[in-house]
Each structure stands twice: as C-alpha cells, then as structure tokens.
C-alpha cells in the first residue's frame, strides 16, 4: 500500500499516508473510549416522568413531579421545594430495576443561588415502598449537580431524604431534577 501511495502521490502523499495511519492507531481507540464513557454517563433516566411523591411542597407549583420532568430551565417553578421539618422526595420506577447511580440537580443548576444547593442528604431504595435500604449518604455537598454511584441494587422506589437543605441555613430543600440510572445504563 505504501508503494502504491508513493507511485500515485509521490513522497508527500506517502508521508501523509504514514501520518494518517499513525493517527488512526491513537485516534480510533480514543474515540471509542470517549463514546463508551458518554453512553455510560448518560444512559436513560429511569425516573423521568415517573409518578412521584414527597413531603409537602413550598407552594402548589413546586411539587414532586417538577423534579422528574426532565427540565431545569423552566424557572423557579421547575423544581420540587419543601420546607417541612421532614423533607423527602420519592419516585416509583414502575417495576424492580437494577440501578447503580443517582444524579441530583440542585438550586444552582436551575439558576438559583448555589447557597441553596442541598448540603446533606441520603438516598434510600426499596422494592416494595415499605422497607428501605440506604445506598448513599452525603454530608457536605456544595455542587450544583451531584452524581452518586453505588453498588448495583434492585429497586422500584428511590427516595431522597434531605438532612440539611442548604449551605446558608435557609430551611427549604430545592431539587430541580432527581435522576436514576440503571446498571448497565438502559437505552444502550
Ligand atoms: Ca425539573
């Protein structure tokens, strides 16, 4: 092949061909790895548009369903907000599924102050909605978007329990999206 390139395109063509072949050795595996990583991170949000319940909301518009509508860009009403003493938010995935991560989009992800990002919380899972197991415990989150991976577990109900709702003492929990991903990620 090198000789063919040399005869048709001369020395310049041959050099370009050699560079291209070297580049391919590096670029193709790198491209494949990037694509795999992207799929692993995105997958399908198993909680999207699923039935949801939670502790009483700050107002009628900021109900549990707003945290499972797939959007963070709809303004301050695009979230679940609760200022109850006991704050929790729960999705019903519809059937028992193997899950291994949760992504939470806090106040800052929706355009509000990052001071209102959820500080401390737990994720509990259940197959029947009665007996729950804790799979995630967070004590010091500050991020607008937090990702929480755990050992794969079969569950139908996924619950967020808010311990400390904000960074600055504000008493309301604000969750713009509560996403649940399978293991392996669905939709691949
Ligand atoms: Ca939302």
pTM tops 0.95, yes or no: no
Paired with 134 in beta bridges are 124
Tell me the CA–centroid distance for residue 18 and ligand 1, in Å: 51
At 24 the pLDDT is 54
Asked whether residue 57 falls in the same domain as residue 28, the answer is no
The torsion region of residue 17 among left (phi > 0), alpha (psi -120 to 50) and beta comes to alpha
Tell me the CA–centroid distance for residue 152 and ligand 1, in Å: 25
Asked whether residue 31 falls in the same domain as residue 60, the answer is no
**Distance (Å, rounded) from C-alpha 116 to C-alpha 166?**
4
User: How many domains does the chain fold into?
Assistant: 2
CATH number at residue 152: 2.60.120.260
CA-to-CA separations, 149 to 25, 39, 60, 132, in angstroms, rounded: 33, 15, 32, 17
Residue 8: φ, ψ to 5°: -80, -45
At 183 the pLDDT is 82
At 169 the pLDDT is 98
Query: Residue 184 has which token pair?
Result: 């392996």
Tell me the CA–centroid distance for residue 39 and ligand 1, in Å: 22
**Distance (Å, rounded) from C-alpha 101 to C-alpha 179?**
8
- For residue 47, is it within any domain? no
Angle at 133 between CA 130 and CA 139, to 5 degrees: 125
Tell me the CA–centroid distance for residue 68 and ligand 1, in Å: 6
pLDDT < 50: residue spans in the chain: 5, 19, 26, 28-41, 188
- For residue 188, is it within any domain? no
Q: Are 82 and 41 in contact (CB under 8 A)?
A: no
> Where in the sequence is the domain holding 60, given as residue range(s)?
52-182
**DSSP code for 56:** P
Asked whether residue 141 falls in the same domain as residue 159, the answer is yes
**Distance (Å, rounded) from C-alpha 27 to C-alpha 14?**
20
Helices (H), 43-154: none
At 16 the pLDDT is 59
Q: Are 105 and 93 in contact (CB under 8 A)?
A: no
Q: Which of 45, 160, 46 is nearest to 95 (CA)?
A: 46
Tell me the CA–centroid distance for residue 66 and ligand 1, in Å: 5
Asked whether residue 77 falls in the same domain as residue 16, the answer is no
**Distance (Å, rounded) from C-alpha 114 to C-alpha 142?**
7
Tell me the CA–centroid distance for residue 177 and ligand 1, in Å: 5
């Amino acid at each position: 092949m090198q000789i063919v390139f040399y005869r048709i395109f001369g020395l310049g063509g041959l050099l370009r061909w050699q560079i291209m072949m070297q580049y391919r050795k590096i670029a193709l595996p790198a491209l494949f790895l990037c694509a795999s990583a992207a799929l692993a991170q995105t997958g399908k949000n198993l909680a999207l548009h699923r039935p949801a319940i939670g502790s009483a909301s700050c107002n009628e518009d900021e109900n549990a369903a707003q945290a499972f509508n797939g959007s963070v860009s709809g303004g301050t009403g695009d979230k679940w907000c609760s200022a109850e003493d006991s704050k929790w938010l729960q999705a019903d995935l519809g059937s028992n599924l193997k899950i291994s991560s949760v992504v939470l989009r806090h106040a800052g992800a929706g355009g509000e102050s990052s001071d209102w990002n959820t500080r401390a919380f737990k994720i509990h899972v259940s197959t029947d909605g009665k007996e729950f197991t804790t799979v995630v415990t967070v004590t010091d989150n500050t991020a607008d978007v937090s990702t929480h991976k755990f050992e794969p577990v079969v569950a139908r109900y996924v619950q967020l329990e808010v311990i400390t709702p904000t960074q600055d003492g504000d008493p309301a929990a604000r969750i713009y999206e509560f996403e649940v991903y399978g293991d392996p990620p669905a939709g691949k």
